[in-house]
Structure 1
Amino acid sequence: MSKHPAARDHCLSLVRSVDRPTGGARYGRMFPGLDPLGTDPHVLMRAGADGGICDAAAALDPGAALDSGAGDNAQQAAGWPFFGQLLAHDTTADRSPITGGVETDALRNARSPRLNLEMLYADGPIGSPYLFDLHDPAKFLLSPDGYDVPRNPQGVALIGDPRNDVHLFSLSLHVALLHAHNRIVDHLRASGVPEEDVFEQARVTLTWHYQWVVVHDFLPRLVGQALVDEVLEDGGKWFAPEPLDGFIPLEFADAAYRYGHGQIRHTYRLVEGGPELPLFPDLVGFGPPRQRLDLTQVFDVPGRPPAQRAKRLDGRLPASLIGLPEQVTGAVDESAYRSLAVRDLLRGDTTGLPSGEEVAKLFGAPALTEGTWPGGTPLWLYILKESEYLGDGDRLGPVGGRIVAEVLIGLLRADPASYLSLEADWQPKLPAAGPTFGLTDLLIPVASR
């Protein structure tokens, strides 16, 4: 018997009912005084479609792409953009159509703008009981083999955010976090925590360690330690919401934080010695996984060979993202909508984002001249090209980096339950393989290495 009374947004589909606009938290603007760029949508579609300037296929050297020391490989491991994707799923879900038609003031975010693992916990054991073990509601329910989330008879994931089932990488990270929660439950019970407090303490413990990783492991790799330290010490210059007043800036959601699409490799090796496979269609989700991912193949772990690297940021996307499968996009009227680059460019246009040049001018950042467009460059593309020319393809430049750092840290400060708000000098308590706690300590138990 159970010791306790037990008391769904796909990422791109335009047709599933779960993706239709709903009420939720608000979006806003980081730079309300800047005018929209306003580019001809047909120009954007040509740029992002098959054979356009955002298509990496024409520039791809297949041999170099698979060599961890050459080609378009970045310094950071291949798993980091997928962790970044989970952060996006945790904080933002714009369910409006990419073709526009919704006033930006009426846009609603179907996620709370907090780094609180809502994508994992949903409404907890009482509000979302299908996520938890009926006989032990303090723990998440997993598939019998432990490598998948539970699914209904048609294979649909029972999961806090269905977008985390879009491909094998997001699903594997989601499952690893479920395991981390369950391990924390075991630890708390062994420490004598009263049973009625175990779930909530486990949730807070995992959430604070996750938030710590965002600030001290993820962001320094993406934007540089100096910028992280500046925002932590001085606060945000352009984004500093008051407690309980956090929101998602459109400049973040529809431009800067879509940087990770440019880090997706052309192919991935899932296990040591295994074949190289593209993300789509080979590793598409929305059903029981056909293969397993060894996380040490995409994250650097002490005592193991270096992992595969992420693709360098250069404004180009691999073929698997230029031609997304229908399982991801749903039915589309225009074939160009199968390109994630087209979607990114159109989203920035329909939400009225300013040019990258105007934001750089506002920041007093170095002017980017290479890879830009006459009359102004779409903010998303500008940030990728800025990374290529000013960040050597390994990290975000001054425009993209500041937007991302200020928003993520600002959201934590606006959340009265975050570790930054309640105990800013808090330190991780879970075991670490090295001198400081990091993401791999959360995903891959030290004892199992």
Structure 2
Amino acid sequence: YGGGPTGSPYLYDLDDADKLLIGVNDQGELADVPRNRQGRALLGDARNDVHLFISQLHLAFLKFHNAIVDYLRAERVPGAQVFAEAQRLVRWHYQWIVVNEFLPLSVGDDLVSDLLANGLKFYTFVEQPYIPVEFADAAYRFGHSQVRSIYTLNNGGAKGQVFPDFAGTCPVPHDRVIDWAYFFSVDQGRPPQASKLIDTILAHSLSDLPTSVVGETKTAQEHSLAYRDLVRGEALDLPSGEAIAREMGVEPLSTSEVGLYDLGWKSETPLWFYILKEAEVRNRGEWLGEVGGRIVAEVLLGLIDGDPSSYRNAETEWQPVLPGAQPGHFTMTDLFRFAGAV
């Protein structure tokens, strides 16, 4: 949303300021984020154009907002209230998806149920919620290990690696428009491409990131995402995975489970690597382990709870109001359908 229609007018439709601007592709379809004449995306956060998948997901949310504007107008919401109400509904439904779909898939149903019933144990803040470095620079980077080697985009058969094939910061042509049925359970008769399991093996495309992503570097290894994640953790002096496990009262992984000792690593385990290995060893890579899962879940829930305008701080208990496959529930598939993105 940037600064809203007044603060960031370039993000909004000149003919309908309640709606976000949507770009057109090489065939005149409303199937790209808005861009300037040099192909640079006009977004509230430029990082959402780093690769095709995130820019197309951003597009889906633009369409989601605009569809809600139409929905509210059909419900005869007063014109002066439409934008703010649409913004609230977008955020609340997205937060609902994070809590009720994304987190159970990422950290497991049991941990989410425990946190919702009994509250957080470790994440606290005094005045403003914040993002801990253990989350931003280790735990939440677990998704790097879930990237597949090859993706199919749509029925046209476009295939490739995230990098360099689907690098962003450029217009999205018709043949690269993503069909989300290839990534989410949209069509029960055609299962989507599964993410790779969480483990310590990264797709080859992430070992040679393009200069457009990492900038000019002094050494070739700086193009490796694993190298960058590990160096980042060292630079920030992050605690080891074992240290956090002990602080949480969790049995740490053994040296044989970590698997680095015989390779010459005699110290405790870098947090990012530990979290990936913990998921692999303790949960077969299907979801995060106790250390990684608790960091991710507590921070995301803590951020939502720390927002006085979030759905979890509504005066009365709230459930999704937009139509979904199940009344009172809402998923990413429901979002795509409501937005007209599938």
Q: TM-score range by the shorter chain?
A: over 0.9
Matched, 1:167 2:59: no
| Matched-pair contact (CA < 8 Å) for 2:153–2:179 | yes
Q: Which residue of 2 aligns with 1:124?
A: 4
Which of 111, 114, 119 lines up with 1:227 in the alignment?
A: 111
Q: Which has the higher contact order (CA 8 A, sep 6+)?
A: 1
Task: Tell me how far 1:425 sits from its aligned partner.
Answer: 2.3
* Residue deviations 1:146-204 (CA, integer Å, cap 9, x gap): 11111111111111111110111101110000000000000111111111111000000
| Matched-pair contact (CA < 8 Å) for 2:180–2:186 | no
Residue identity opposite 1:371 in structure 2:
V
Aligned-partner SS, 1:445: helix
Aligned-partner SS, 2:286: coil
Task: Tell me how far 1:319 sits from its aligned partner.
Answer: 1.0
- Structure with the higher fraction of residues in helix conformation: 2
Unaligned runs of 5+ in 2: 261-265
| Matched-pair contact (CA < 8 Å) for 1:142–1:149 | yes
Identity of matched residues, %? 49
Which of 222, 247, 252 lines up with 1:367 in the alignment?
A: 252
Residue identity opposite 2:317 in structure 1:
D
Deviates more, 1:376-385 or 1:264-273: 264-273
Q: Which residue of 1 aligns with 2:15?
A: 135
Task: Tell me how far 1:419 sits from its aligned partner.
Answer: 0.8
Which of 146, 149, 168 lines up with 1:285 in the alignment?
A: 168
| 1: CA distance, partners of 2:259 / 2:185 | 34
Q: Which residue of 1 aligns with 2:131?
A: 248
| 1: CA distance, partners of 2:199 / 2:226 | 13
Q: Which residue of 2 aligns with 1:379?
A: 271
| 1: CA distance, partners of 2:3 / 2:336 | 23
TM-score scaled by length of structure 1: 0.71
Matched, 1:348 2:240: no
Aligned-partner SS, 2:90: helix
| 2: CA distance, partners of 1:283 / 1:396 | 27
Task: Output the aligned Cα RMSD.
Answer: 1.6
| 2: CA distance, partners of 1:299 / 1:221 | 13
Matched, 1:419 2:311: yes
Aligned-partner SS, 2:141: helix
Matched, 1:315 2:200: yes
Once the two structures are superposed, the pairs formed by residues 31-180 of structure 1 within 5 Å of their partners are: 121-144=1-24, 145-180=29-64
| 2: CA distance, partners of 1:423 / 1:232 | 17
Which of 165, 176, 184 lines up with 1:299 in the alignment?
A: 184
Which of 313, 330, 333 lines up with 2:218 in the alignment?
A: 333
Count of matched residue positions in the alignment of Structure 1 and Structure 2: 328
Matched, 1:404 2:288: no
Aligned-partner SS, 2:195: strand
* Residue deviations 1:189-222 (CA, integer Å, cap 9, x gap): 1111111111000000110000000000100111
Aligned-partner SS, 1:139: strand
Task: Tell me how far 1:133 sits from its aligned partner.
Answer: 0.6
Matched, 1:257 2:140: yes
Matched, 1:207 2:82: no
| 2: CA distance, partners of 1:195 / 1:332 | 51
Q: Which residue of 1 aligns with 2:282?
A: 390
Task: Tell me how far 1:330 sits from its aligned partner.
Answer: 1.2
| Matched-pair contact (CA < 8 Å) for 1:265–1:318 | yes
| 2: CA distance, partners of 1:160 / 1:448 | 20
Residue identity opposite 1:240 in structure 2:
T
Task: Tell me how far 1:445 sits from its aligned partner.
Answer: 2.7
Residue identity opposite 2:140 in structure 1:
Y
Residue identity opposite 2:281 in structure 1:
Y
Deviates more, 1:178-187 or 1:430-439: 430-439
Matched, 1:276 2:159: yes
Q: Which residue of 1 aligns with 2:263?
A: none
| 1: CA distance, partners of 2:270 / 2:193 | 30
Q: Which residue of 2 aligns with 1:190?
A: 74
Q: Which residue of 2 aligns with 1:438?
A: 331
Q: Which residue of 2 aligns with 1:218?
A: 102
Residue identity opposite 2:229 in structure 1:
D
Aligned-partner SS, 2:258: coil
Change (3 A) 1:186 1:273: closer
| Matched-pair contact (CA < 8 Å) for 1:433–1:446 | no
